[in-house]
Amino acid sequence: MNEYLIAVVDDESEVLRVISEYFIPRGFKVKGFQDSACFFDFIGKKLPDIIILDVMFPGENGFDLCKKLKSRKIHAHIPIIMLSGKIEEQDKIFGLELGADDYVSKPFSLNELHARVEAVLRRCLPEDLPSEIRVGDLIAIDTDKYEVRVSGKKIDLTSTEFKILECLSARKGHAFTRNKILEYIWGDEKIVTEQTINVHINHIREKLGQKAGKLIKHIRGMGYKVEDTP
């Protein structure tokens, strides 16, 4: 069972309670916030896998918070589902134009919200990877042949190392937590700890070489991502 972390931002304590009580038994972790200051303090230290954001939030409304999140490089990739009692089509369009991934009207069905969360999370990593993934001008990954080349030279990676590099490179710029990388490689059958990912990353960097290895970026306390430039 995947333990995705959901951050819920809503000033109604009852909403936070029912979402937590519904999702936690279904294998999710849930962290609720009733004010934006606590929320931003939290995501400055830990990245959630998805954010459920109330539009009618006191002070900075949900639209403001969504805009702020999408303007930050480290947070822009996190999918957002907006909750709102405002059902006008223009409000939904505005939220989606700001970068929200989905929009659920209040009052909402928990089963529907669950389905929306699952659907958004499934879109986080493409199911059908291209036959070749390129990272900048240095790295070429052949997903059919399981081969990696750096500046045209073949690099020998273990199957685990290849899958980690494939995972990160398939969504360049996307910050993956160590737990998310574990889930991509082993699914529900996790046989190693998150710390093991650090060891594998170090091995991958060494094999890629000094210049190409710098394309794998470490995000302190959170995880890793790949970018086209060092």
Quote the CA–CA distance of 17 and 65 in Å, as a whole number: 21
Strands (E) across the chain are located at 5-9, 29-33, 50-54, 80-84, 102-105, 132-135, 139-142, 147-150, 153-155, 176-177, 216-219, 223-226
* Cβ density class 1-29: b for 16+ within 10 Å, e for less: eeebbbbbbbeeeebbeebbeebeeeebe
pLDDT value of position 30: 96
Complete domains list, the chain, with CATH: 5-122 (3.40.50.2300), 132-226 (1.10.10.10)
pLDDT for residue 1: 39
Q: Quick one: CA dihedral 173, 178, 180, 186, positive or negative?
A: positive
Q: What is the pLDDT of residue 3?
A: 72
Please tell me the predicted confidence (pLDDT) of residue 190: 52
Q: Token pair for residue 15?
A: 């909403």
Q: Which residues does 172 contact at the CB level (< 8 Å), separation at least 6?
A: 135, 225, 226, 227, 228
Q: Which residues of the chain fall below pLDDT 50?
A: 1-2, 189
Q: In 81-109, which ranges are continuous DSSP H helix?
A: 89-97
Residue 153 to residues 130, 172, 210, Cα–Cα distance (Å): 20, 22, 14
Rounded Cα gap, residues 115 and 118, in angstroms? 5
